Structure 1
Amino acid sequence: MFCAALAAGDDRRALILHRSPRAFLILNAFPYASGHLMAVLIRHVGTIEAAAAEELAEAMTLVQRATRALDAAYHPDGFNVGLNQGRVAGAGVLGHLHIHLVPRWNGDTNFMPVIGETRVLPESLETTYDRLAAALST
């Protein structure tokens, strides 16, 4: 999934917001909230233990940069930052370590995700991409 996005040749279509030598930022195609993105290591590494310190540092620097961009574009009240290592922990893409960054707002959990198991987002992924790409370029 992540390798296909890197090889796609069209970052906007692949939802890649930023590339760096060891990691990249990509929008989550199935977001929990507008602006839900991930910092992904380029090298295939499935665990924190197997990742190089430089890779982890670069991924966290991208999380920091993305947090600033999300603050500028969306003004969230907080963030969830985390990674799922292993299937039992909820990892959907095994073997490719990535850190989730989810903007949160006061009162953003309602009956739709809790009862209806449905997420309602106020904008398309394309609109989210454009807003964050602009915020990352400043």
Structure 2
Amino acid sequence: MSEEHRQDGVGEPDQLDRLWTPYRMAYIRGEERPSGTGADECPFCRIPALSDEEGLVVHRGDTAYVVLNLFPYTAGHLMVCPFRHIPDYTDTTDEEAAEVAALTKRAMTVLRSVSHAEGFNLGMNQGTAGGAGIRAHLHQHVVPRWVGDANFMPIIGHTKTLPQLLTDTRQLLAEAWG
């Protein structure tokens, strides 16, 4: 067995290759997360005061900006953030919502041109239950994707988890839509 497949004396050697991402430990430990919800503790409020290089800002608009994620899921993982310290998408003004959408489209175009992204995950995690790491400041994730980089559930398990029948979900949404 080759040395690159050993675990350096820890456990039994195996055939797995490892891709180390030690920068994610700061995220896992919550080192960059604010403890409160105020703008004075918010990294998305601090970033615009930095230089573009120091803050990893890719573009500044009138009401929102585009920044590289400090703890990316994939290379090129961007976030589109309103300058204003607001927690929820429903708190955006029409101008903010329009610019976040336009910057998201431009981010996808740019990522396709420079990295040949084959797909994207776009999302705003809202609230603790929605998976938001920083709940107090709205941000839209733009995550470039390539065939073969997905997690194990759909690839190995050939499974997608859904908590409700699609017909039931459709009915609830149609009724609420009006």
TM range (shorter): 0.7 to 0.9
In structure 1, distance between residues paired with 2:104 and 2:85 = 19
2:16 counterpart of 1:16: no
Cα distance, 1:87 vs structure 2: 1.3
Partner of 2:119: 78
Structure with larger Rg: 2
Partner of 1:6: 48
Structure 2, gaps ≥5 residues long: 1-42, 153-178
Give the root-mean-square deviation of aligned CA atoms.
Answer: 1.2
**What SS class does the counterpart of residue 45 from structure 1 fall into?**
coil
Alpha-carbon displacement from aligned partner over 1:28-75 (angstroms, at most 9, x marks no partner): 000000000000011111112111111011011001111110010001
Q: Tell me whether 66-75 or 41-50 shows the greater mean CA deviation.
A: 41-50
Cα distance, 1:23 vs structure 2: 0.2
Cα–Cα, structure 1 residues 110 and 51, in superposed 2: closer, same or farther, change >3 Å?
Answer: closer
Q: Taking structure 2 as the reference length, what is the TM-score of the superposition?
A: 0.59
Which structure has more relative contact order (CA 8 Å, sep 6+)? It is: 1
Cα–Cα, structure 1 residues 110 and 55, in superposed 2: closer, same or farther, change >3 Å?
Answer: closer
**What SS class does the counterpart of residue 129 from structure 2 fall into?**
helix
Q: Taking structure 1 as the reference length, what is the TM-score of the superposition?
A: 0.76
Cα–Cα, structure 1 residues 15 and 107, in superposed 2: closer, same or farther, change >3 Å?
Answer: same
The structure in which a higher percent of residues are strand is 1
Partner of 2:133: 92
Instruction: Count residues with an aligned counterpart.
Output: 110
Consecutive aligned runs of 4 or more in structure 1 exceeding 2 Å deviation: none
Identity %: 45
2:55 is matched by which residue type in structure 1? Answer: A
Cα–Cα, structure 1 residues 50 and 106, in superposed 2: closer, same or farther, change >3 Å?
Answer: same
In structure 2, distance between residues paired with 1:23 and 1:38 = 10
Partner of 1:37: 78
In structure 2, distance between residues paired with 1:47 and 1:109 = 28
Structure 1, gaps ≥5 residues long: 112-138
Cα distance, 1:109 vs structure 2: 3.1
